[in-house]
Amino acid sequence: MAVAAVGRGASCNAAARALGCATSTVVGAVRRYREAGREALRDRRAANGRPKVDSRFRERLARVLAGTPEDWGWCRPTWTRELLCLELQRRGLPQVSVATMGRVLTSIGARRKAAKPIVQCPWPGWKRRRRLHVLKCLEAYTPAKEPVLHVDEVDIHLNPKVGLDWCLPGQRRVVVTPGNNQKRFLAGALNVRTGRLTWVEGRSKASALFIQLLWRLAGEYRRARRIHLVLDNAAVHASQKTRRALEHLGGRIVLHFLPPYCPEGNRIERVWLDLHANVTRNHRCRTMSRLMVRVHAYLAARNAQRSASPYLRRADLRRTA
């Protein structure tokens, strides 16, 4: 195609732009054609033998990427293309270049990502799984007159959380921060059956904020014989002030604690992620009062949407199951 384009009168640069290749590729093809004719245009890689990169090579590479270099005996915490070449060669596979390794990584969909820091639960695996199973049974088999809610707190910062956004080439989204950060805190409770969220606002994440939520729930579910709360092991959930508040409520509210460092067991975490994605990330509110108006408006609209859509309620129940 490059030779044909040049033969029609196009320049090598124009032919390269049209074909999406390097100008040197077009120049080399034209030179070979002029020197040896059509036979010189045949693919000269036909005699190279069996390809080095095949399905077995890609499968071994995917298996290596499932671990870290330290798992396979290397004194380095992250992979490089050079190190991947050495590791696969050590496993008896053909030696390939760094550029070839880069193409293979692209072909299997691998890309460089930032690591996600987590805190591992100190409980044994069987104990953690058993506790989560008990909480799932609580949600599934508790009588309808006894609501089950997932409880957690979230921080709202005036300095916006910076996140990804679509931009044109050569441009970058600019978010002006107020400088002096301010904070507000929300304590929320998500009903696992209806998807309705109950929340309160405070200026500190102390026992008073959680106790305020307890009284709010007691008033909102006044006909419930017992209210079950699934929550994490934060200090405010087990403080002396909280215990006294639970005694004043007559034992109507029962706390069920998740295993330590187990946020995936608390469904309200998904609500807070949506809140940050829709309100606080890259926000442009200059005052905390304006930001909190948007926060409360979003949560109220979410409750209204759940109340009006039976499909969303069924989806919540399926996720619970």
What SS3 string covers 233-254? CCHHHCCHHHHHHHHHCCCCEE
* Percentage of residues of the chain with pLDDT beyond 70: 96
- CB of 202 within 8 A of CB of 184? yes
pLDDT given at position 315: 56
208 CB-contact burial (10 Å; exposed 0-12 / middle 13-18 / buried 19+): middle
In tens, the pLDDT along 129-146 reads: 999 999 999 999 999 899
Cα–Cα dist 79/87, whole Å: 10
pLDDT given at position 256: 96
pLDDT given at position 311: 56
**pLDDT range class, residue 77, cuts 50, 70, 90:** very high
CB count in 10 Å sphere of residue 47: 6
Tell me if residue 256 falls in helix, strand or coil: strand
Cα–Cα dist 35/138, whole Å: 81
In tens, the pLDDT along 241-264 reads: 999 999 999 989 999 999 999 998
